[in-house]
Each structure stands twice: as structure tokens, then as C-alpha cells.
Structure 1
Amino acid sequence: MEIYKNIQEMKSYLKEMRKEGKKIGFVPTMGYLHEGHLSLIRRAAVENDLVVVSIFVNPRQFGPGEDFERYPRNIEQDIRLSQEAGANVLFIPGINEMYPEGFNTYVEVKQLTETLCGKSRPGHFLGVTTVVNKLFHIVNPDRAYFGQKDAQQVIVIQRMVKDLNMDVEVVVCPIVREADGLAMSSRNVYLNSEERGQAIVLFHALNMAKERIEQGERDAMRLKKQIEMMIQQQPLANIDYVSIVDGENLEEVKEINHKVLIALAVKFGTTRLIDNMIVEV
């Protein structure tokens, strides 16, 4: 497996691979890889000739007081797991490599970033779209793989790719969950045993909502209240938001009569977890 830390060296290598006609699949990550990441790498390995994985904890998508400094890192483990899952190339740039002195250019997607996590974490998506844009230009992949767990991020990146006429296919892969339903996340390591036990309420609440819709519930506000009540039964849960939005434009809906995204962000202790479910009507 090739490992690069320098942008120009990375670009030169991939340029040669493209000359050989290789299709490139790309999995951008912030490291501390878990089964969710590995599922993306495995799928990329099946669908492409060459799989590139980036590991970069992007400081520009963390707000003041967020967990950039303590975000979990284990680069040796990431290298081993990436290779075992089928990665051919690792790109592990430093902060100064990605954001050299004088860096002052950002890519912003409007509207879609002003709700859900964008409302709770101002500036977060500005950091996400900027770094993903840079990574797409560095790797120039045929396909890029993202997990459905970060549903808003996926929709924002799809819009950016479409609006900027980027020649990359955004492949969205299903949420990977623990045996009890908790969505896999690098941040799950922050949870103590009591918080971890209560966090599965997110998956139960989403399933309850899906069942209610299948049974004929169409009032989004009423269903939202039911979700909130279920989550609030867990004493350590502190709701950031519960939203039922249009599955395309992320606008809040009053009546559930088409594809909707049910999205949650809840803190357990100091750990903020997100989860979601798409429901077709």
C-alpha cells in the first residue's frame, strides 16, 4: 500500500495511475476507522481499480469548544485496517499541507447548510465543503464514497458536486450499526457504559417513527413530539434537535406525504451523536 503526505506527490502518483486507465475510488475520512468506514473501503475496492483513503482531522469543521483536540486518533491502526479492507493508497496530509500560510479560500453551499447540524454548528459545513473540494481536486476520483449516517453532509456534497460540475460520482452507502442498533461513530468511544446503554434510544425512536408512518401517521409535528418524548425518557439524553425534513431540500415538512429524512442529534454527557432514517411514503 502506498502512503503519501505530500499533495504534489499524491497527485503525481494518481496521474500515472490514470494514464494506465485505472478507475479511482475515494473514501475521505477523519481516521479512527470503524466498520462504517471499512464498509465504504470494501465497496470502493469492488467497484474500482484503485482505492484511495484520506485520513485528515479537519480543524476547519470544528467550532470553538468542540472536540478537535481530543478527537480520537490511531494512525497505526488506521493504516492496518485500511489495507485489510482493500485500500491501495493512503493520503495522510498535515494541517499545514492542507492549509498553508495565507490560505483564505472557502467553498460554501447555501440553504442546505442552514438547518439541522448546520444550525447547531455554525461554520461546520463551510469546513466540510472546503476540505472535500480540496480532496476531490487532489485525488480526482471517479467515485467518492460517503456513509448515510451523515445524511446532511451527503446531500450538501451532492449539491456541491452538481453545482460545480465536478466529474465525480457520489456513492452513498447504508448506515452500519452495532448489534444493538447504535450507529457506528468514532465518537462512540467517548461514551461511558451508562451513556452507551441509553444511546440506543436513538435507533429505537427512529424505528418507532418509521412504524408510525407505515401505520398512516402523516402529521410531522405530532410524530416529532412522540420521538422527543421517547428520547427524553432516558435521563442522560439532551436533545439538540429532532427534525422531519424533505429528503431532498432538507426543509421542515408539516405533512408526511413523500420521501422524508428523520434526523436526530442528541448529547449523552458531553458526546453529541447523530442518527437518521429515510422513510419513503
Structure 2
Amino acid sequence: MSTELPPSSIPLFPTVAKYREWRQKAFEENKSVGFVATMGALHEGHLSLVRRSLAQNDLTVLSIFVNPAQFAPHEDLATYPRTLPGDLALLEALAMYPGGITQDVRAQTGTFVEVKGFGHQMEGASRPTFFRGVATVVTKLFNAVQPTRAYFGQKDIQQAVLLRRLAQDLLLSHPEPRNVVIVPTARDPHTSLALSSRNAYLAPYERENVAPALYAALCAAEAAWGAGKPKADCVGCARAVVAAKEEEVGGAVEIRFDYIEMNDPETFDVVPDRVTRREWEQEDAERPVILSGAMWVGKTRLIDNIVLGDKSRLGIVD
């Protein structure tokens, strides 16, 4: 990050060394520190995490870093929104990275972190280098920030669950696994569209009339699961919602599913097609399952999810 930072009433730390001076003082004063990791282009979803941290901690730290290692070479790193002055203004109203991190995995050097066996399903099937990049940079952030608690949004549910596992597997003390908090997805109050920085890519018609079909599809699958239908039928109900939207727009906007699936949150294994909710919960009432999907609306890829069953077991806190 450049050291030429915009004016702000919020303390800004362009280097790890500067931040650690501040963090040491917080340790000495026995103050808790909440942490929100972002790639900037802040929206209400990010701010909901900041508010949660402000309410639960003496101090709150927010990082802004557009992480090249979680973008595949064909993805939108160059055009990803970078809005630091506006981000600081939003925060007022309420870089800490060495070389080696590039988009090209073959050119990456140095130490990287992988969560083996859990990153190839769901989002990992479409973005095979994504979780390696996330796990590496978040580990760096945890080591630099040393937060008492860290906050992540449910919209990126697989990422959030994997980071709780990372904290557990690496025996982190800052934060401890139980203090990696997952906050429910922030949604547009009118359309229920999950808030995301990439929503800025959507044209107004796409955002208001097409993109909400993903969440509507997940809700249809949720209703079918609750009614006792097998997993395959639940997924079929979701696909039918999107197919109806495709017919409605009549080719004016390209719509296509990347995936729609139900997964075990412990292993991320796919729930078998013939399994019903009754069978899934036979030995464990309210056993959770992740119902998630990704969909392209024009040139914009959207993701969303619903946790069926007891979401508190995943660390999701209302």
C-alpha cells in the first residue's frame, strides 16, 4: 500500500511496524481488538461487521487490501473497485504485505497456507486457487493485527468456515477459533440481494430485476427441503426459479448458473441426491447443511447461501 494516504480522522497504518507499535499499547492497556478484513469498496455488509466489532471490542481494526492471490488470471483484479477515500469517509461516519503475492500461482514465491482437502468443493470447484490465496493473506493479517475477535460475513460462508478451521488447526491465540465470528449476510432491504462490492458492476435493471433471482432460487430450495423433498428435487426447484427469470427477461440479460448445491459444513461433501431433511437429521436434530449457489448476471458473478438447520454450529451469530 502507498504511504501517500488520504487525510482521515481514523488512525492509518501503512506498515506492519507502525501498526505493531499501536497494538503493543493495546496489549499493555488490556484492550480487546476486533478485526474486519476487507478488499475495500466498502458497503453496508462491511459496515455491519464493523458495527458488530465496535459493540463487542474496545478497539476495532479494518484492513483494506485487494489480494491478487485470490484472483485467477482471468478474473477481475484489474477492474476490482478501489475506493479508499470513500471507504475512509464511510468509516469516519460511524500495507502490510511483502512481495511474492501475484495472480499467477506459478510465479508465487515464499510461504503460502493451504487448507488441504476442503478447498476444492463449492466455490473451490470454480476458483481452484481462491482459498490458498485467502488462507495465506488472512494468516498474515491475523499475525499482524493479533485480533481478539475477527468478523466475516456469511455471504462468503465457505471462506468463513475454513478460516475458523485454520485458526483451530494452527492453534492461533489471536483470534482463537471460537472468536472467528460469522455475521449473517447483509441484504438489500427491497430486493434481498446479498450486498457485495461486485454489485457495482451490475446495471440498474440487472441489480433490481435479475440478480435477486439467485436468492429467490435458494429460498425455493429451502422451502422444498423443509417440505421433505430429496436434495435433487430441491436443487431442481432452485433451477426452475432461474429458468423462469431467463424466460421473463427474454435474452435481454445473459443469465447462467455456475452451481447450485447442498454441502455438509463439516466436510463440504455434497449431500447425496436422494437424501431428505428427515434422513439428514435422523441422528442429529437440526444438523446444519449449506445451501449455496453462484450465478452469472451479464458479466457479473454473484454468490449467495442459506444455512439450513442450526447455523450457530458454524459460528454464525445473529
For Structure 1 versus Structure 2, the TM-score category normalised by the shorter chain is over 0.9
- In structure 1, the residue matched to 2:258 is 240
Q: Are residues 1:82 and 2:77 paired?
A: no
Q: Are 1:136 and 2:142 matched, yes or no?
A: yes
Is 1:225 paired with 2:236? yes
Q: State which of 193, 196, 213 in structure 2 corresponds to 1:185.
A: 196
Q: Which moved more, 1:159-168 or 1:129-138?
A: 159-168
1:30 positional shift: 0.5
Measure the CA separation in 1 of the matches of 2:295 and 2:98. 31
Tell me the TM-score normalized by structure 2.
0.82
Higher share in strand: 1
Query: Share of identical aligned residues, percent?
Result: 39
Look up the SS of the partner of 1:4 in the other structure: coil
The runs of at least 4 aligned residues of structure 1 exceeding 6 Å deviation read none
Looking at structure 1, the residues matched to 225 and 60 of structure 2 have their Cα atoms a distance apart, in angstroms, of 39
Deviates more, 1:152-161 or 1:208-217: 208-217
- Residue ranges of structure 2 left out of the alignment (5+ in a row): 1-9, 101-107, 247-253, 281-286, 311-318
Which residue identity lines up with residue 244 of structure 1 in the other structure?
A: M
Q: What is residue 103 of structure 2 aligned with on the other side? A: none
Conservation of the 8 A alpha-carbon contact between 1:53 and 1:82: no
Please report the RMSD computed on the Cα atoms of aligned residues, expressed in angstroms.
Answer: 1.4
Q: How does 1:110-125 map to 2 (within 5 A)?
A: 110-125=116-131
Asked whether 1:252 is paired with 2:270, we answer yes
2:154 corresponds to which residue?
Answer: 148
The number of equivalent residue pairs is: 270
Q: Which residue of 2 aligns with 1:99?
A: 98
Is the counterpart of residue 172 in structure 1 residue 182 in structure 2? Answer: yes
Q: Is the 8 A contact 1:247 1:278 kept in 2?
A: no
Question: Does the 8 Å contact 2:222/2:234 carry over to 1?
Answer: no
Q: Using the alignment, how far apart are the partners of 1:109 and 1:37 within structure 2?
A: 25
Match of 1:263 in 2: 292
- What code does the residue aligned with 2:160 have? V
**CA apart distance, 1:21:** 0.6
Report whether the alignment pairs 1:62 with 2:71: yes
- 2:159 and 2:92 map into 1 onto residues whose CA distance is 26
The higher radius of gyration belongs to 2
Query: Secondary structure at the residue paired with 1:72?
Result: coil
Q: Match of 1:265, as an amino acid?
A: A
| Separation of aligned partners in 2, 1:108 and 1:145 | 20
Question: Gaps spanning 5+ residues in structure 1: where?
Answer: 86-92
CA deviations on 1:163-187 (whole Å, 9 max, x unpaired) are 0011111011010000211000000
Q: Which residue of 1 aligns with 2:306?
A: 277
1:102-149, CA deviations, whole angstroms, 9 ceiling, x for partnerless residues?
A: 951100001221111111011111000000000000000010000000
Q: Distance in 2 between matches of 1:187 and 1:134?
A: 24
